[in-house]
Amino acid sequence: MNFAKKIVFGLSVLATAAIAYNPISTYHYLADPGAAADDEYFYIITDSDDPAAYNATGYNIKALYGFRSKDMQNWTDFGIIYDARQVSGIGDIWASGIAADPKTGKLYIVFPDGGGGGIGYIKADSIAGPWTNAVGGGKDKLVGGWGKGLIDCDGVAWCFDPGIFIDDDGTTYVTWGGGEGDSRPNTDNFDVVKLNAAKDAPVGTGSHVKVNGLSTRKMLEASYIHKHGNTYYFSYSTGWQQGAPTIDYAMGTSPMGPFTWKGTILGDPSINGRSINGNNNHHGIAEFKGHSYVVYHDRRIAKGHDGLEIIPADDGMPNPDPGYHRSVSVDEMFYNADGTIKQVTCTNDGPEQIENFDPYDWYPALTSSKQRGVRSRSLWAPGKVAGSLLLPLSTKESWIRVSGVDFGKGATGFTVEAASSADNNKIEIRKGSATGTLACTCTLKKTGSKTTFAETSCDVNGLSGIVEQLFLVFKGSQDSTMAIKGWGFEGSGKTPAEPQKPFKGTAAAIPGKIQMEDFDVPGTGRGEEYASYSDNDAENHGDSDYRKDDAPSVDLYKKSGDRVVVGYIQKGEWLEYTVNVAETGTYTMFAAVASDGGSSFQLSMDGKNITEEIAVPAAKKEEGAEQNFDDYAKVSATVNLTKGEHVLRFTATADWFDIDYVNFVAGENAIDDSPIGDETAIAMTAKYNVTQNVYNVYNLQGKLLGSVNMTGTSAKTALNAAGFNAGVYMLRGKNKSFMVNTVK
């Protein structure tokens, strides 16, 4: 969680040098993702902007790439899985759709032949293929005009951007279309058709997708169907009538429609007001292991977002045009109780890792949660299983990272299959960072060329239990003299999973006070069943060492005396507490909170809400002073609780506030027996520290930028005088922290 205050100013904020989890690949340019899932893997397919020159003014898209993950953090890149340049009768491959058949386990892809050459259709037993034509009747296209397909394009302006949806009973549906034509305006520009039981031909010729209630929300492209519960959702990219295109959706009771427009799933992708998109968008949605996810493209790499390495274009030129050099990211998507979709928040970190990574398997080399200073080469050929090689730029900062690795009782060895055309090429295995604790240095066997491979095995030390971040660091005297095909560890089993447990060993008593910093100790496993907290970023912005060992990313702050509070709280973050309710009945909940307004939270127990959203009032502000976030106020709610042990969850439903404790008192409208100002609670007596002159200045990611002297002046004036750009900053002194927005 993060310190006390939001951006209210809307100006740019300096980026940190941190390396985020999104996008899923940082070493080449990908776009137009589709998504699917089965019981084991989440799949993403993309097309590629890699062939585009740095100053491209149009698309040059030739191939589909395939990725999969078991845990939503570590992704295996299989490289090109289907290439128009090596398949007869296809000119280009643009935005495509993928689905997994729940009955047979097969995967199906529908793809457009460029900007309107019809819809192709292929199938495979795995994401790596080999992929074969799935169209019946001796045709190469499922949909296409002039006899190219089994059915025609039905007058849509753009016969492209197909989606494929397979229902729970195995029935398959395909959508396509886009644009605006004389006969099909952009309120009626998509078609849908059901396929036969053999999944190789349409049933009928298809029908228009009817979306009611569109108003000015025009449909442009990227048609997509998914299902949640018993409801069907039709989503698409809007046109430019409302500014940057959004991903909007409609709901219905049949995959054939009609649908009713409901709202926006994903706006123009941005973080902290900084756009990471800037043009069109495309998406895929799938449910996986109890979660829902949306994949989408943005321009993170080409924009150097959050310290990402800007990859040169295919022609070797640096700083390529972001418009035609896109990136693919993924974030979790949530539903409201009525089935409507909460608008997705784009993040740097991506989704929470939902299970531990098992190192005792053999992995394609490009299996990682993040990368730096590497490139890839695809190994695809028609009729063959796809694969890719990892190519380190080993004279530079070059590594891949794997997250949440469960080494159990301990790894004993590491094996890598690699080609090495130079002497003394090495892989270092490190914990924590690319320069962290060294567990192994593995010198590769020299094979004499980058196409001749050999296995090298090395002993490892110090790898046991769960290693949050594992780095494979590549070292060599020349770039591009290594080609890594695969790797894996040897050792003794996984760490047994353990559930979360009370912080002090005993469940917190209700009635009674719960200090918010005393949330449960997380378990040893991945996912919410083992987690006791969820934080929107991995960096700790707090100044307290409390809980630094078992919850290093939760932002805890020192206050007066030895007090500790949870701060820098952002929407969607949560904390859990094992509690023991003495008796079934009605209680009054009091919470000590601080904000400058606009914040809120909600409490739930065992997964069910026990309060509505509770607004956090604005803290008091002394005349002539900056906003004071040390003045706490009380909020309350009536709750009905059941006797026994439960898990209480505190969830932030809006950004930027602090919380000290919650107190449960028996009875409806009970009197607070721990008012603000007593010996165990923060008092509303903190004052603006006019005696302190020098304050450190941080950006909203917690990076120290410098300091200012506020002697005889305001913070805004001091920031401007010190040369800081217009923006929003956090100022922190010995006993005081507050936010300032400033304009030049």
pLDDT tens readout for residues 363-416? 999 999 999 999 999 999 999 999 999 999 999 999 999 999 999 999 999 999
Query: What are the residues whose beta carbons fall under 8 Å from the beta carbon of 571, sequence distance 6 or more?
Result: 345, 652, 653, 654, 655
Question: What pLDDT, in 10s, does the model give residues 285-332?
Answer: 999 999 999 999 999 999 999 889 999 998 899 999 999 999 999 999
- Whether 105 shows a pLDDT value over 80: the answer reads yes
In-domain check, residue 452: yes
Report yes or no on 21 lying in a domain. no
Single-letter amino acid, residue 730: M
Contact call for residues 636 and 590 (beta carbons, < 8 A): yes
What region does 641 belong to: left with phi over 0, alpha with psi -120 to 50, or beta? Answer: beta
Residue 695: its pLDDT value, please?
76
The three-class DSSP label of residue 307 is helix
- Residue 422 inside a domain? The answer is yes
Strands across the sheet with 367-368, in order?
Answer: 30-37, 42-48, 63-69, 75-83, 367-368
Do 188 and 287 lie in a common domain? Answer: yes
The pLDDT of residue 698 is above 90: no
If pLDDT is split at 50, 70 and 90, which confidence band does 2 have?
very low
pLDDT of residue 703: 64
**Looking at 619, 648, 666, which one is the last position of a domain?**
666
Q: Where does the pLDDT of residue 242 fall: very low under 50, low under 70, confident under 90, or very high at 90 and above?
A: low
- The pLDDT-based confidence of 628 (bands split at 50, 70, 90) is low
pLDDT at 624 over 70: no
524-547 residue pLDDT tens? 888 777 889 988 777 788 889 999
- Give the per-residue pLDDT at 741: 62
Same structural domain, 413 and 297: no
> 268 and 123: one domain?
yes
Cα(7)–Cα(728) distance, rounded to whole angstroms?
Answer: 6
Would 533 be classed as within a structural domain? yes
CATH number of 535's domain: 2.60.120.260
Tokens of 98: 């993928």
- Angstrom CA distances, 79 to 96, 359, 612, stand at 16, 21, 47
List strand residue ranges (DSSP E) for 561-654, in order: 564-566, 574-581, 585-594, 599-605, 608-609, 614-616, 633-641, 644-652
| Domain hosting residue 527, numbered range | 508-666
Statement: residue 231 has pLDDT above 90: yes
Which residue, 591, 553, 532, 567, is CA-closest to 469?
Answer: 553
Give phi and psi for 648, each to the nearest 5: -90, 130
Same domain, 460 and 419: yes
pLDDT (0 to 100) of residue 20: 63
Distance, in Å, from the CA atom of 284 to the CA atom of 291, rounded to the nearest integer, reads: 14
Rounded to an integer, what distance in angstroms lies between the CA atom of residue 35 and that of residue 41?
11
pLDDT at residue number 701: 54
* Neighbouring C-alpha atoms within 13 Å toward the C-beta of 71: 24
* Strand duo 107-112 + 119-124: pairing: antiparallel
Instruction: Compute the Cα dihedral for 660, 665, 669, 671 and give only its sign.
Output: negative
Residues 467 and 576 in one domain: no
Out of 460, 491, 522, a domain closes at 491
Token pair for 244: 């940057």
Q: What percent of the chain has pLDDT over 90?
A: 72
591 shares a domain with 463: no
56-82 residue pLDDT tens: 998 899 999 999 999 999 999 999 999
Cross-strand pairs, 271: 274
Torsion angle (degrees, nearest 10) of CA 261, 265, 269, 272 = 120
Which of these three, 491, 522, 554, is where a domain ends?
491
Does the residue 344 lie in any domain? no
- pLDDT tops 50 at residue 681: no
113 and 246 inside one domain: yes
Residues 579 and 456 in one domain: no
Half-sphere exposure (CA, 13 Å, Cβ side) for 279? 17
SS3 of residue 337 by DSSP: coil
Tens of pLDDT, residues 250-289: 999 999 999 999 999 999 899 888 889 877 899 999 999 9
Confidence tier at 461 by pLDDT (50, 70, 90): very high
Helix (H, G, I), strand (E, B) or coil at 103: coil
Q: Are residues 463 and 546 in the same domain?
A: no
Per-chain mean pLDDT for the chain? 89
Query: Could you tell me which of 333, 187, 181, 172 has the C-alpha nearest to residue 266?
Result: 333
Asked if residue 100 is part of any domain, the answer here is: yes
Domain count, the chain: 4
Q: Domain check: are 470 and 578 in the same one?
A: no
Residue 280 resides in a domain:
yes
Q: The domain spanning residue 230 has which CATH number?
A: 2.115.10.20
Q: Would residue 265 count as lying in a domain?
A: yes
Strand partners, 567: none
Whether pLDDT at 441 is above 90: yes
Predicted confidence (pLDDT) per residue in 544-590, tens digit = 999 988 998 899 998 876 789 999 898 889 999 999 999 999 999 99
**Exposed (0-12), middle (13-18) or buried (19+): which is 621, by Cβ within 10 Å?**
middle
pLDDT band at 726 (very low <50, low <70, confident <90, very high): confident
Cβ 211 vs Cβ 259: under 8 Å: yes
- For the ranges 84-88, 358-362, 500-504, 700-704, the lowest mean pLDDT is seen at 700-704
Q: How is residue 342 written in tokens? A: 């909460």
Quick one: 326 and 386 in the same domain? no
Q: Are residues 542 and 658 in the same domain?
A: yes
Name which of 25, 257, 224, 219 is nearest 110 in CA terms: 224
Nearby residues of 608 by Cβ (< 8 Å), 6 or more positions away: none
Query: Residue 96: which of 125, 75, 70, 65 has the closest Cα?
Result: 65
Return phi, psi of residue 681, to 5°.
Answer: -130, 150
